Structure 1
Amino acid sequence: MELNTKFSTKNDYEQALLALCEPLKSYFSEGRAYLKIGPTQAHYEDRIAGLETFSRLLWGLVPFFKGGGSSDLETYYKEGLSHGTDPEHPEYWGTCYGCHQAFVEMAAIGLGLLIAPEKIWEPLSEKERNNLNDWLLQINPTQIPANNWLFFRVLVNIGLRNVGGRYSEEAIKESLDKIETFYLGDGWYSDGKTNQRDYYIAFAMHFYSLIYAKTMKDRDPETCSKFIERAKLFAQDYIYWFVEGGESLPYGRSLTYRFAQCGFWGALAFADVEVFSWGVMKGIVNRHFRNWFNRPILDAQGKLTIGYGYPNIQMAEGYNSQGSPYWAFKSFIILALDKEHPFWKAEEEPMPSLESLRVEKHAKMIFQRLSSKHTVALTSGQYAAWEPLHTAEKYEKFAYSTYFGFNVPKSYYTFSQAAPDNMLTFVKDHMCFVRRRCEKVKVEESIYSKWSPLSGVEVETTLIPWGKGHIRRHVIHSNGEYEVYESGFAIPVLDKGALNKVYEGKCIKLFHEKAYSSITLREGEGVLDSVQCETSTNILHPKVSLPFVKFNIKQGTTKIETYIEGDLI
């Protein structure tokens, strides 16, 4: 089945979903409770990774069923749900406990019970329903992580309630009460008690709350109204994470979920919330899908790969199995909408007029909208204390770009392998040290941070939006001598010899026909240069070069100031 990438009509999305599912059919286990679609490993056992793939397809299939679609996969899922929840069957999904990955995957089944029970629940026998009910109820007595996982418990229980199964009203209330403590104001949540403000706020906290708002409005109108009002507020900030071409800001963890980034806009439509015009919202979703499927994100069989702009295991987290990327199917929530819904009837519209500068205090970000096609976010202070892979690179760089992406290191031993774009790097004994966490952060029209890359060194950094770029002022307090590198945006090398480099006074500029990246020395004594980074360090572009200024600092206090630009031509 050929993949339809027009992404305009409901039929386009239905065909795309089925085409993406088609190559996975041959990977179902004999009892159809698992799919093992590749050789790489996550930190949990293969059995649960197989459940993960099975479940994550439901994020697309359940809305498809709700919206009137049918597929031979209905039979696969009847068998898989029966066997996976049968303690006597060899493919039983098993007992769940603690931070068990199976709790994550229960949520999509809960959604099925909630909005497509005729496909997920009703085909099962009474015994099979009891087994599924028993297996799902394991999520209630367990002490699961106090973050977006609490919504998994909510979805499971309201789903079971919807089909007349056994559930816990107390579990729903306790989970919602705890979620309430994460609300920060202005539409923003934290994902538990953390400093992270990443895509989990959009494709988890708000996504699930909007599903609740749509399905529970008659039973719990007060909570539903609150969730909708918060989503409307959040949308005013979140739209700045997207640009006209469909790209969104690469930032934070779980980027292998790719087009889940636009799931928030689809969830708004599902909840009948027209926060911008239907045409604007449809345009964001359509262009986002088109952008992703214009990139090499599928393997030769048509399966989604681990990576971001291309297959790249280097940038993934330890919880990314081969089936993890199918969390992106959450953005197919729009398939639950009737074809007469105003979302589908609307003509696609461009992005609305937005401010050129937007301070998002809860995210500790300042967005510079350089054009309708390119956005840069300056940021500090979002350290992920539980240290997912490449925490420093995913959260603590000075700037992130919808076009340039960002780099993750292959090692910290050499500068080219560390590839530290948009960072201040200290080198000691050939090892590179960068900002991992901030001791202090203040966000106004500029961002001030205080941080330490290694013992004996303290840095005070101020990021100031300026023209088409930004100024970085560093005050370094050091107990010794170090090589220090200030770097700009990593620019893709499109073809051999196609990247130009020019020096203009105290400025180095790398450019090709599509974009440029430059760094200008404003204060301090340094040497301007560039390096081609180790391949596949950038999450969007397999090959990049990096402009930098190299300093040799002495013991004591040193002041450095640079001006950084990176933009499309």
Structure 2
Amino acid sequence: MRGATILPAICGAHRDCRRLPSSPNCAEPFMRFVPENPDFRLSPFSGMAREHWVQAAVFLLEGVFAHLGNVREPLVFPRRSPEAYPRPGATWVSLRAQEMEGLARTFLIAAPLIEENPDLMVRGINVRDYYARQILQACDPSSPTFMGHAEDIARANGGQLAQQLVEVAALCIGLMSARTSVWSQYSEMERATIAACFHDHAHGKTHPHNWRFFNVLTGAFLEANEVAVDAVAMDGHLHALMAFYAGDGWYRDGLEFDYYSAWAFQFYGALWCDWTGYQRRPETARMIERRHGELMAVYPHFFGRNGESLLWGRSAIYRCAASSPLVAAFRLRETPIDPGWARRIASGNLLQFLGRDDLWMDEIPSLGFFGPCDPVLQSYSCAASPFWLAKIFQALSLPKDSPFWTAVENEGEWPRLGSGVQTVLLERPGLMATIHGSTGAAECRPGKLALAQSWYQRLAFNTAFPWEADDEAGATAMSYSLRRLGEDSSEAAGKWATPVAMRHGGFRDGVLYRQIIFRRNSPMPDVVIDLADIVIPGGVLRVDRVRADGECELRLGHFGLPHLHGMAPEIREWREDGAQFATAVCGERGLLLATYRGWSGVAAQVHTCKNVEAETSTVLYAVRSRGERMAEVSLLVTLMLHRTDGRHWTASETDLVREIVPATDCEAGVTVCFKDGEERTVDFSRIEGRLGG
């Protein structure tokens, strides 16, 4: 596969009635999904066979239907965050949108269940009858819960789009999954009412990114049910979507690369192929299938050993939707992924969230990554939005004899790693994915970032040490932070800033090159840091070159370490052979930071309400202090390690670097000589000619 390189490895549902001890970070006490009678023969790692996925789906629906006063009202969940919509004074568009999210996203969970068992009852409610009635009412202009016509929505919303188009597409996915039990049970007139509403939204205004798939999927649903659509318009959307393809299995959604490539482009594309694509537009379907195959060749490296997904990019509240393209792969004619590894990842990803007692609020998944967390929310988030995780339950629409269900679980590449590390390089999207055998963690290093948003602007993302929000005091996790000093009179003077853009410089001789940019009040950067990552087992050795315009103070944060169960970490500091070391260990997780060159010291900062896993957390960070004026060009060498075994580092585990030899032009780079005999040369010369964003 051109562009993508895999480097050789371096040597029964119930609300937990047993009242298991609850985490102090738990929002809904004593509640988490525990599979009944796990099957460790078919699924030796997760215990999750198909029946346990059904248990998980019913478990979620039990929480959903706890919010229903009577069967004729829509699903509306409590708004627990001021960041969520609908906000005070909201228009009818916003009110209908939250109802549509509650209906459509939970229907994705229910649809495969009621196709298999139309008489399914949850909390005394016939699930099939409830959704069939609510879908019809949402599409009926005479109903008080009618979602609205596309033009009326745009007009009432100041010309802006709302969530209705998104949820129409979700209803289409659900109706295709429940085609016999729901769609075919409507009368001819009722189907015409629903089709007219869907047709209106399919041909309405959309956003010029992944949203085009909502038009395409809705059009495909109509085509599959013999309703005519504007083929020219649908083809236009498809062509625009295909043009976002960058290569190596990744689409660029707007400005960034993130999970939308996976849970939108690749997930929806596979469904479209299965519904109508292979039959009506076979060339495009084959293109989508081929691109999906390229993703499957590398995507498992974005998950931890137990199937954990990263908190990376926007919409973190969708959680285990990250593994939905692994499920959707089995809707394609060619499925180039090991089904046992695919199900192991997807089941682990499901349990990563549903198996936690801090996930729940009001008996449904909270607005956060684990527990409630406002910093991960976007303006389009409402209380029902987390149910986009339901995409993963398309697995239950696969045939029972699908290899996804019949293959024995396995761990793919992990057993061959030992304590080593394996890295996948994706030049086109500028991504590096790494799996660490010693810790079971997966990491992603982005390289092409255009937005100054903290969900993207990080040096790395790690499954064992999830993202933290920016720290205004200058100790932002896994990021450089800069404060301008001297005679700077701008508004930014004295404030800590994080990078506004990142560019990808390629991978050469064991070194990943990138560049981050800081700007002040003009489009021209005033501080540039050239980055060089040397990935090693359990971490990275960084050699970074700072190009500063004026006097500034600089900090580099490690990952955030959550204080689980209210326990603060044990921190140790020492000096050895001119390097300064600091470690922090809390429970099973630990971090090490060592500074070899260019820094004045290390420190630790306790954060409150920054970490997605705990109320408080600690960040180790390196410091270039105010009293030391930074040269116009300076080299910084830093070691950053992580571990997940609860142990502190021994002397032999930290004594990794034998010598750091500057280049002849000392600002052009260094050669790092490791104690094991390995050498890596960092060469920043001509980096500007190799950068791409």
TM over 0.5: yes
Q: Find the counterpart in structure 2 of residue 436 from structure 1.
A: 500
Partners of 2:196 and 2:532 lie apart in 1 by 53
Partners of 1:70 and 1:240 lie apart in 2 by 40
Partners of 2:117 and 2:236 lie apart in 1 by 34
Q: Find the counterpart in structure 1 of residue 641 from structure 2.
A: 565
Q: Relative to structure 1, is the Cα distance of residues 243 and 298 closer, same or farther in structure 2, using a 3 angstrom cutoff?
A: closer
Q: CA deviation at 1:556?
A: 4.9
Partners of 1:229 and 1:69 lie apart in 2 by 36
Q: Find the counterpart in structure 1 of residue 85 from structure 2.
A: 42
Q: Find the counterpart in structure 2 of residue 520 from structure 1.
A: 594
Q: CA deviation at 1:272?
A: 5.5
Are 2:512 and 1:446 aligned?
yes
Q: Decide which of 532, 538, 542 is 2:611's aligned counterpart.
A: 538
Unaligned runs of 5+ in 2: 1-12, 16-32, 36-46, 87-92, 121-125, 155-159, 485-492, 646-693
Q: CA deviation at 1:340?
A: 2.5
Q: CA deviation at 1:37?
A: 0.5
Q: Relative to structure 1, is the Cα distance of residues 497 and 115 closer, same or farther in structure 2, using a 3 angstrom cutoff?
A: closer
Residue pair 1:490, 1:546 contacting (<8 A) in 2 also: yes
TM normalised by structure 2 equals 0.75
Are 2:409 and 1:348 aligned?
yes
Q: CA deviation at 1:277?
A: 2.4
Partners of 2:283 and 2:389 lie apart in 1 by 30
* Paired letter, 1:380: G
Residue pair 2:263, 2:322 contacting (<8 A) in 1 also: yes
What are the residue-to-residue correspondences of 1:138-287 with 2, within 5 Å? 138-192=200-254, 194=255, 196-216=256-276, 217-271=278-332, 273-287=334-348
Worse-matched range after superposition: 218-227 or 396-405: 218-227
Are 2:67 and 1:5 aligned?
no
Partners of 1:8 and 1:497 lie apart in 2 by 32
Q: Find the counterpart in structure 2 of residue 482 from structure 1.
A: 552
Are 2:544 and 1:501 aligned?
no
Q: Find the counterpart in structure 1 of residue 18 from structure 2.
A: none
Q: Relative to structure 1, is the Cα distance of residues 30 and 125 closer, same or farther in structure 2, using a 3 angstrom cutoff?
A: farther
Q: CA deviation at 1:65?
A: 3.9
Residue pair 1:113, 1:160 contacting (<8 A) in 2 also: no
Deviations 1:367-396 (A, max 9, x none): 332216112223333234xxxxxx532111
SS at match of 2:529: strand
Q: Find the counterpart in structure 2 of residue 388 from structure 1.
A: none
Worse-matched range after superposition: 63-72 or 256-265: 63-72
Q: Find the counterpart in structure 1 of residue 129 from structure 2.
A: 75
Q: Relative to structure 1, is the Cα distance of residues 46 and 437 closer, same or farther in structure 2, using a 3 angstrom cutoff?
A: same
SS at match of 1:518: strand
Are 2:423 and 1:357 aligned?
yes
Residue pair 1:481, 1:554 contacting (<8 A) in 2 also: yes
Q: Relative to structure 1, is the Cα distance of residues 197 and 70 closer, same or farther in structure 2, using a 3 angstrom cutoff?
A: farther
Q: Find the counterpart in structure 2 of residue 463 from structure 1.
A: 532
* Paired letter, 1:8: M
SS at match of 2:301: helix
SS at match of 1:489: strand
Residue pair 2:315, 2:376 contacting (<8 A) in 1 also: no
* Paired letter, 2:440: K
Partners of 1:379 and 1:191 lie apart in 2 by 14
Are 2:192 and 1:130 aligned?
yes
Are 2:440 and 1:373 aligned?
yes
Worse-matched range after superposition: 517-526 or 550-559: 550-559
Partners of 1:484 and 1:460 lie apart in 2 by 11
Q: Relative to structure 1, is the Cα distance of residues 507 and 330 closer, same or farther in structure 2, using a 3 angstrom cutoff?
A: same
Q: Find the counterpart in structure 2 of residue 91 from structure 1.
A: 145
Residue pair 1:365, 1:380 contacting (<8 A) in 2 also: yes
Deviations 1:418-451 (A, max 9, x none): x51111112355522011213x431224122141
Q: CA deviation at 1:249?
A: 2.0
Q: CA deviation at 1:246?
A: 1.8
Q: CA deviation at 1:269?
A: 2.2
Partners of 2:204 and 2:274 lie apart in 1 by 27
Q: CA deviation at 1:359?
A: 1.4
Partners of 2:585 and 2:177 lie apart in 1 by 51
Q: Find the counterpart in structure 2 of residue 288 from structure 1.
A: 349
Residue pair 2:467, 2:477 contacting (<8 A) in 1 also: yes
SS at match of 2:527: strand
Are 2:165 and 1:103 aligned?
yes
Are 2:487 and 1:420 aligned?
no
Partners of 1:345 and 1:547 lie apart in 2 by 46
Residue pair 1:461, 1:472 contacting (<8 A) in 2 also: no
Q: Relative to structure 1, is the Cα distance of residues 540 and 453 closer, same or farther in structure 2, using a 3 angstrom cutoff?
A: farther
SS at match of 2:306: coil
Are 2:83 and 1:64 aligned?
no
Partners of 1:518 and 1:176 lie apart in 2 by 48
Q: Percent identity?
A: 20
* Paired letter, 2:459: F
Unaligned runs of 5+ in 1: 385-390
SS at match of 1:122: helix
Q: Find the counterpart in structure 1 of residue 104 from structure 2.
A: 55
Which structure: larger Rg? 2
Q: Relative to structure 1, is the Cα distance of residues 147 and 14 closer, same or farther in structure 2, using a 3 angstrom cutoff?
A: same
Partners of 1:144 and 1:496 lie apart in 2 by 46
Residue pair 1:280, 1:350 contacting (<8 A) in 2 also: yes
SS at match of 1:338: coil
Deviations 1:174-199 (A, max 9, x none): 2111112112223221124x2x1111
Q: Relative to structure 1, is the Cα distance of residues 463 and 376 closer, same or farther in structure 2, using a 3 angstrom cutoff?
A: farther
Partners of 1:169 and 1:381 lie apart in 2 by 35
Residue pair 1:392, 1:437 contacting (<8 A) in 2 also: no
